[in-house]
Structure 1
């Protein structure tokens, strides 16, 4: 594992430098279209805009290569204004993954202040009647949608609350985590993707999916968000309910009869056509990082189980099947991720968040177990 992780990090530094060289000014990488050999980019308001600079900061942490640091700083200038954007719930992904890592590594006060600003913006989306943060604005399709992904953005609130921000941020994060625990999960600890609430009564009106195979299915990246989210919430709160929930979600994933032996899940655990359907490297990368953190809060056989699971995912993602050859794949690290099959969007392509959580898992493994 030492040789593998080191090799992956060395490769990642070189590969992201090749991505830097083709990324247009003022843009963020989104994915790569192999059919046309074109890099697909996004503007600052895309929900994934923080992952590229966040990955650069992780790689700078490993390498101390100032070329990566300068690139991260230049790209963060593009998304700086997103800290003031209260139009969606993705501020953790946009701002904490980028400016949070930047502050952790540099201590620059400006970065901390932007994280605090983003927390204030996210807090405006809290709806007291449902004790949750509204994910997307109301529309003809949804009254008050809350998606499982929203758990990930609670890290922004918790960190801000514990680093000079408003205590209210912690209250909001805890309330949201508790409401999600109550309404998003089935008896087997799989998760619905989306709960649509009635703001006047606070009741969950519909339990449905947007990116999964069916309303009743277990969308793989959604299960990964839940695993990561409750593990992270335990880190901040020491509330045993969150640790118990994370363990139950881990059990659902690890004992599922349709989890492949190589630990890279199909895009949905209940996807039609298994085994002849797409895998999702992004879900696997999130799971690997989450399993590594969960292992730190457990002991004995459970600890070993989570470490071994993370190691197996990292080994598979590091294989030629999933890890790109140097200079290929548009500069992205991993192949074979899935965005949203129901919309035929980003199917079997590289994605910035797959790379981010893969590198995060590598950094965590290096810090904690090498």
Structure 2
């Protein structure tokens, strides 16, 4: 005769072990500290950009390249909606030359819009971090307290409650970080749609902290493990709501970037997702730059590859490697570091 009680215990123990293993592996992949570092780094970037605006007239240089051929070209064509696709339209990087893409990177309005997008993405990554952990915890606790039929709580129950408290503590920490950042973001974009949505996010993060503290308290109470499944469900619901708002903010910031680019170029370009949007300005890993005038263009942050990027003869590629960081050892893909700005510098050292 099969011992059903014993089988249930064994299955529960196995599920506990798998859940803890998954959470431990997620901790090694998802790094909240790195997300916070991204936000702080972006704040420094914005400060430097603001100072550069007062010293460099990048708009004048851009107008020399992008001056419209007729008065009608000065106004962009009617733009479809954000999710509307123009039939037969080529990808933006196929419609815009490398010279223009590189020049757009240093245009103050584009740089500011991209900085705003990067801030929004950094906040979204922090919320995504705890959202993922909460979803895993919810699934792991779907079978409820494994010792419920005995009336007592064993080691596996204690582990479940401990994991729940860790997830709640992580959410509280992230909300404490992301809340003020969202509020500052909203003030920065006051009266803009993205700013309004960011204000909603900041208010939601603040009010949710009280709910998270209450959930933490019930998991600390006697028999707290029995409250873990319900706490995991509520935590996931809170994070679902916050993630939805943060994704709205990112989407509005993406639209803002492409509206800015379209206004400067005088024609509509279709909006992409956040990764492709930033890659449009930074990714030159498969690009022929041999006929491009790079003499005074700031290349900080440009991503290039040893095999796919063709540089002008004046560029010493080996020296360029020294002034760049390889994304992954042996990949042959590099990002040019700050402070190694122009091709003129590479040419003079070659």
- Regarding TM over 0.5, the answer is no
Higher relative contact order (CA 8 A, sep 6+): 2
Higher helix proportion (structure 1 or 2): 2
TM-score range, shorter chain: under 0.3
TM-score with structure 2 length normalisation? 0.22
- Higher Rg of the two aligned structures: 2
